[in-house]
Each structure stands twice: as structure tokens, then as C-alpha cells.
Amino acid sequence: MSGELAVVPEKKKGGPSSIQCPMLNSTNYTVWSMRMKVVLKVHKVWDTIETGSEEGDKNDMARALLFQSIPEALILQVGNLDTSKAVWDAIKGRHIGAERVKEARLQTLSAEFERIRMSEEESIDTFAGRISELATKSAELGQTIDEPKIVKKFLASLPDKKFITIVASLEQILNLNKTKFEDIVGRLKAYKERVNGEEVHQNDQGKLMYSNIGLTELPRWIRTWRWKKSRRSFWWTRKRTWTWNSSTEQ
């Protein structure tokens, strides 16, 4: 009848039925297998996988739990297997190769992270983006690089010639274990902008100073050198013109 409420039997809290199965995906096989082993033990059916027992009720329960914890596409691949051990081994076989590829890729990313350095021509934003990309790729493969490690690596990889002063200051005034990566990047960008502004100002002041200096205000040896240079230039020009005119007349 419409309006009637369906009565669902209450499950005992803390019992096996209240434990949810972990869902397997393309990157978490190792953790999934550890959690799933605990679930199967709680339901008293792990021995069917460990020994390959084909005992009816236990085997069916183990297969049911495994099917609840894997994607539908994988169920279609292993659904025709009769024992829980065969299902478990099939899942393992499909992911063990992927795990090895993942481990190799993580080792490559780790080596890249250790070697990364900022070039002299590179901007702070570009370099920060390269480090963030490595950290993101590592996290996608299941290995998270802690933010303090990223911060310290970022500071240690900056060119000493340009940043040694600000890096030393930041290491003294900040707790790098609690400082956000974005905060460090922002502070360095602000520092670089200020340094660039001062360099432009100094260059402009230098150009203005030299443009205001007359010839009579220059040191005597510079005035003498410029006068001799101008005479040589004049003599060379007159000689070239005379030679050209003489050849033309001939």
C-alpha cells in the first residue's frame, strides 16, 4: 500500500555486516588488498582464499564480498570463476604488473624531484609550476610529497647568486615546516619585483648622470683621448676624400 513504510531489520552495530568493502581502482591495489584481507577475515572466510577451499557457503560469501569491492568492468572479466581464490588471484594478476609500472614511474619522479634546479633565465612562476607538476604526478600515483619537503626543495634549488640573501632570511624568520608553498612563492616574487625595480632605477640614474656631464667636466686624459681620436678621424676622412678625388681626375 502507498504510504506504508518498509521495515528494515536493524543491523547489529560493530558486527561484520556493518563493515564496508573498499573499492578497487587503478592506483590502490596494494592498500585495497590489505583492507580486503581484513574484511574477509572478519567474515571468517579468508581461509577459502588462503587454502583454496571450495566449501559452499564460505566460498560464496568470499566471492560476494570480492564482487562488492571491484568495478563492474572487472566483474565481467572474473565473474565466471568458480572459487574465491581464483577470483582473488585473477585480480592480483591484473594489477601486479600495473603496480610494478607505478613503482618504476614513482622512482623516476623521485629522481626528477631530487635533481630539479631553477635556471638563471627561468621565472619564479615557471619553476614553481615545474615543482608543483612533479608533486601532482606523484600524488596521482599514490605517493604524496609533504608540503614542507616541497618548500625546502624549492628554496634549496634557487640560484644562489640571485636569491641567497632572501632564502637565508626566510629560513631564519619562518617555520618552513608550517609555511605554505604558495606563501613562499609569493614572498619570492615580491622580492624579485623589488630588486628589478631598484636595478631599473639605478640604470636610469646612471644614464642621467653621464648625459649631464659636459666635455669640460671630464678628466683631462679622457678629453685628450677624445680630441686625438677626433683628429685621427678627420685626417682619415680628408685623406680618403683626396685619394678618391685624385683617382677620379685621372
Q: Note if the pTM is more than 0.95.
A: no
> Where do the structural domains in the chain lie, given as residue ranges?
16-100, 116-208
Cα(130)–Cα(214) distance, integer angstroms? 51
* pLDDT tier at 103, thresholds 50, 70, 90: confident
Are 215 and 223 within 8 A, CB to CB?
yes
Mean pLDDT rounded to a whole number for the chain: 79
Q: How many helices (H) and strands (E) does the chain have?
A: 10, 0
Residue among 83, 93, 86, 115 at smallest CA distance from 29: 93
Instruction: Please give the share of the chain, as a percent, with pLDDT higher than 70.
Output: 71
Write phi, then psi, for 133 (nearest 5 degrees).
-65, -45
| Averaged pLDDT for residues 152-176 | 93
Cα(207)–Cα(189) distance, integer angstroms? 27
Place of cell 578497487: 24
The pLDDT tens digits for 79-100 are 999 899 999 999 988 888 777 8
User: What is the pLDDT, as a whole number, of residue 219?
Assistant: 54
| Side chain identity, residue 44 | K
The pLDDT tens digits for 149-158 are 999 999 999 9
Cα(248)–Cα(250) distance, integer angstroms? 5
The pLDDT tens digits for 8-46 are 334 445 555 578 899 998 878 888 999 999 999 999 999
- Supply the DSSP string of 155-179, one letter for each residue: HHTS-HHHHHHHHHHHHHHS-TTT-
Write phi, then psi, for 91 (nearest 5 degrees).
-60, -45
User: What is the pLDDT, as a whole number, of residue 52?
Assistant: 82
Burial (CB count within 10 angstroms: exposed 0-12, middle 13-18, buried 19+), residue 70? buried
The pLDDT tens digits for 123-162 are 999 999 999 999 999 988 878 999 999 999 999 999 988 8
